[in-house]
C-alpha cells in the first residue's frame, strides 16, 4: 500500500530525465510541450514520463484548452524524507550503540578475546530476523 507508492516514487525519480523535469516544475508549472523542448526525444516519450510522475503522485495535470499544464505536488517529498530519515536515524543510533559497546569492552572485559563468540557477526542485533516493516 504505502509500500507500493514509495516504490513508485523512488522508481519515478530513478530516471535523470524525470528528475530534471521535477527540477523544472519546481520553478513553475509547464505544459508537456514546454517540458519536452529541451530534450531531443519525442513528445510521446515525455508524455509517458509525465504519466509515471503522475502515477507516483509527484505531478498533477489540469486542462487548459489543448494544453495539459503540469504541476509539482510537493507533499509526496515528505513521504520520502520521512522514510529516509527513519533509517538514517537508526543507522546513527546503531553507531552510537556500537561505540558504547566498544568502550565497555575496552573498559572492563578481556575474557572474550578469542572468537568463540558463536555469533560470528560482530554488532549483529538478534532482533534482525524479527519484524522490521
Here the cell at position 34 is 514546454
Q: Map the footprint of a copy of itself across residues 61-120, applying CB under 8 A.
A: 64-65, 67, 69, 72, 74, 77-78, 80-81, 83-88, 90-92, 94-95, 120
Given DNA, a copy of itself, none, residue 82, with its beta carbon under 5 to 8 Å by kind, binds: none
Among the listed residues 33, 38, 22, 21, the one whose alpha carbon sits nearest the alpha carbon of residue 69: 33
Stretch that binds DNA, among 19-27, 50-58, 93-101, 102-110 (CB under 7 A): 50-58
φ/ψ of residue 93, rounded to 5: -60, -40
3-state secondary structure of 67: strand
Is residue 24 a contact point for DNA (CB under 7 A)?
no
Stretch that binds a copy of itself, among 12-20, 40-48, 100-108 (CB under 8 A): 12-20
| Helix (H) / strand (E) containing 87 | helix 75-108
Among the listed residues 66, 65, 85, 67, the one whose alpha carbon sits nearest the alpha carbon of residue 29: 67
CA–chain centroid gap for 14, Å, is 9
Binding site for a copy of itself (CB under 8 A): 3-4, 6-7, 10-11, 13-16, 19-20, 22-24, 26-31, 34, 37-38, 64-65, 67, 69, 72, 74, 77-78, 80-81, 83-88, 90-92, 94-95, 120-125, 127-129, 132-133
Amino acid at each position: 500500500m504505502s509500500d507500493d507508492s514509495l516504490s513508485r516514487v523512488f522508481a519515478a525519480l530513478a530516471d535523470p530525465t524525470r528528475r530534471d523535469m521535477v527540477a523544472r516544475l519546481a520553478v513553475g508549472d509547464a505544459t508537456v510541450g514546454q517540458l519536452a523542448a529541451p530534450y531531443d526525444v519525442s513528445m510521446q516519450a515525455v508524455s509517458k514520463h509525465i504519466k509515471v510522475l503522475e502515477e507516483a503522485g509527484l505531478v498533477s495535470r489540469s486542462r487548459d484548452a489543448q494544453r495539459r499544464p503540469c504541476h509539482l505536488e510537493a507533499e509526496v517529498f515528505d513521504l520520502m524524507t520521512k522514510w529516509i530519515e527513519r533509517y538514517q536515524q537508526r543507522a546513527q543510533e546503531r553507531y552510537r550503540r556500537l561505540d558504547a559497546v566498544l568502550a565497555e569492552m575496552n573498559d572492563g572485559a578481556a575474557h572474550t578475546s578469542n572468537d568463540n563468540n558463536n555469533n560470528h557477526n560482530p554488532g549483529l542485533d538478534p532482533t534482525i530476523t524479527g519484524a522490521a516493516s
